[in-house]
Amino acid sequence: MMQEHMMSNMRDHLAAINEILVYLGDGELDKAAETAEYRLGMSSLESHGASHMARFMPEGMRQAGTAMHRAASRFALKAQEGEVLPAYKAISEITSACVACHSGYRVK
Ligand code: HEC
């Protein structure tokens, strides 16, 4: 059940990154910021049940997850500042956290 829940979070993470890139490309930085904060950032923790999930994760995985949520909130701040290039740079910190966790952890 936890695995099912995590995988559906994951699919939403990917969809959120995609939406953020579309907003950035359209110059809608506020919407990009909002999507990042509420779907991936520190404000998403409650809605996707992070504290509940984290108990089932090894320590390193938990840290990778936290790094990803923090990077998303940092991106949201950058995007709100309205500078596109720094925002792109900040989004790569989110995707780096996705890659880092995926390279180290599997469900089975
Ligand atoms: C804390 C670790 C962690 C982070 C951070 C993380 N993932 Fe995952 N993700 C996983 C694990 C573990 C799996 C399952 C992989 C497996 O068992 O093959 C997974 C699977 C997925 C899947 C496959 C879902 C499916 O239905 O098959 C997608 C898509 C995905 N992640 C996207 C992302 C994106 C996008 C990000 C960053 C925004 C991200 N993940 C961040 C751990 C993480």
Calpha distance 6→98 (Å, rounded): 13
**Chain segment 60-107, per-residue pLDDT in tens:** 999 999 999 999 999 999 999 999 999 999 999 999 999 999 999 998
Ligand 1 pocket member 107 (CB < 6 A): yes
> How far does the centroid of ligand 1 lie from the alpha carbon of residue 29, in Å?
25
**Chain segment 2-36, per-residue pLDDT in tens:** 889 999 999 999 999 999 999 999 999 999 999 99
Please answer whether residues 37 and 95 qualify as being in contact, where contact means their C-beta atoms are separated by less than 8 angstroms. no
Burial level of 39, CB count in 10 A (0-12/13-18/19+)? buried
* Closest ligand 1 atom number to CA of residue 11: 29
Under 8 Å CB-to-CB from 76, ≥6 apart: which residues? Answer: 33, 34, 36, 37, 41
> How far does the centroid of ligand 1 lie from the alpha carbon of residue 104, in Å?
11
Residue nearest to atom 36 of ligand 1 (CA): 98
Ligand 1 pocket member 10 (CB < 6 A): yes
